Amino acid sequence: MMYSMLQIGYTKWSEIPQEDQELWFRQFAQEFNWHPDHTETVRIRFKAKAMDSYTKQVNAWKKVWQKNKRPRNINGRVFEQLIVHWQKDETAETSSRNSKNRKSDRGGKGMYVHNLGACSMSTKEDELIEANDGNPVDRLQLIKVAHTNKKTGQIQDLLIKDVVDLVETEIASQSQPLSDDGDSVGASTNLSRLQINEMVEKAVPKRKGGFLVGLARRASSYPASSSQAPYADPMILEELHDKGERIVALEEQNATIQAENATILAELASQKKTNAEIMEKLNRLFASSS
């Protein structure tokens, strides 16, 4: 879609008009099927993935441009418009400021450090959900896995470590002891995933736009058991309904063809029998005449 459907050089996903974003989602919906009740969940996850992929793609195109080269298969107008944006003084200033912010010590906490490598936070969450038999994981588990060094077993980012320590302390204070003697070691974490997510989101510092430091804004942060009925896009529902009707029509057509074939075979068998009887009568007449 970023090569075939992108007609304007938008610098980020949020600049793409909502109707165009919806058009991309409908194109995605043409390739896959799901239960209508899951449409809004799929839409949220699609947009999150599209935003992440679009940002990475634009950055990749920029790196190619900085090498005085041209990306393959890119729309010429899109590339020229992006070049105009990259050449602006304010764009260079913003890029320099963002780079400086990433390298700041954050009040003595040092630079932001994670252990995801090339894997995004959203992808890591998907991996944890898959490993958990498709069940969502809480954000404390996600943030710990993403920032814990595999060799040392320690969280290198001091700001994130403070968040984890704070949330774990709060969870321990609200957990119920399993033993009668009140031993806190045997405490059971009987808090819901939503409660733990809320603790993490309160403890994690907020960036501009409300983004959480060290976390991706995902559909899993929404309440798992909402009383609100799931939203179903009428157009998507209509497309799914049309697909179902086409399948039914094809099945009926196939049944009709099979019935017609059976009729033809029966008629051929009857004609064959009639031909055999005629040949037998002719043979008897020839025999009697001779």
Residue-wise pLDDT tens digits, 29-38:
988 888 888 8
Q: Which one-letter DSSP state was computed for residue 155?
A: B
Instruction: Give CA–CA dist 218/270, Å, rounded.
Output: 68
| pLDDT-flagged residues of the chain (< 50) | 106, 178, 182-188, 218-231
Last residue of a domain, one of 103, 134, 157: 103
DSSP 3-state of 206: strand
State whether 206 and 221 are in the same domain: yes
pLDDT of residue 188: 46
Task: Describe the crossing of helices 158-174 and 139-147 by its angle, rounded to 10 degrees.
Answer: 150
State whether 12 and 91 are in the same domain: yes
pLDDT of residue 102: 55
State whether 133 and 192 are in the same domain: yes
State whether 37 and 69 are in the same domain: yes
Q: Which one-letter DSSP state was computed for residue 212?
A: B
Listing DSSP states for 11-52 in one string gives: SSGGGS-HHHHHHHHHHHHHH----GGGHHHHHHHHHHHHHH
State whether 6 and 70 are in the same domain: yes
Number of domains making up the chain: 3
pLDDT of residue 186: 39
Instruction: Give CA–CA dist 2/23, Å, rounded.
Output: 12
State whether 163 and 93 are in the same domain: no
State whether 220 and 153 are in the same domain: yes
pLDDT of residue 99: 60
Q: Which residues contact 13 (CB under 8 A, 6 or more apart)?
A: 21, 47, 50, 51, 54, 55
Instruction: Give CA–CA dist 178/157, Å, rounded.
Output: 33
Residue count of the chain, please give it: 290
- Percent helix, strand and coil across the chain, each rounded to 5? 65, 5, 35
CB 147 within 8 A of CB 115: yes
CB half-sphere exposure, 167, CA atoms < 13 A: 25
Instruction: Give CA–CA dist 187/174, Å, rounded.
Output: 9
- Encoding tokens for residue 168? 């774990």
Q: Which domain holds residue 28?
A: 1-103
Last residue of a domain, one of 49, 81, 103: 103
State whether 251 and 207 are in the same domain: no
Model-level pTM?
0.41
pLDDT of residue 160: 82
DSSP 3-state of 43: helix
Calculate ∠ Cα 193-195-198, nearest 5°.
110
State whether 85 and 161 are in the same domain: no
